[in-house]
Amino acid sequence: MEVSPRITVEAGKCAGKPCIRGYRLTVEHVLALLAEGSTFADLKQEWDFLEPEDIAAALRFAAGLAGERSIAVGS
């Protein structure tokens, strides 16, 4: 299933987690590496198929998920 032009979900791949363009590279993994300080150059060195648009799609995907629900905050 295509979630966006660059994000796909397949039941038998990566436990059904969203992946970058059908590759076995999850959006979650990309986001975690970026959060730890990895740059696009770092990621590109490891995954030569990765494109800047893939990073942007992963960030848009995460932003969309973050906006889907509210978190109750105590007073």
Segment 11-68, tens digit of pLDDT: 999 999 999 999 999 999 999 999 999 999 999 999 999 999 999 999 999 999 888 8
Above 90 in pLDDT, residue 72?
A: no
Which is nearest to 58 in space by CA: 38, 24, 37, 32? Answer: 32
Tell me the pTM: 0.87
Q: By the 8 A CB rule, do 41 and 75 touch?
A: no
- Between CA 2 and CA 53 the distance in angstroms is 15
Amino acid 75: pLDDT: 60
Between 73 and 24, name the one with better pLDDT.
24
Q: By the 8 A CB rule, do 55 and 25 touch?
A: no
Above 90 in pLDDT, residue 71?
A: no
CATH code reported for the domain at 2-61: 1.10.10.10
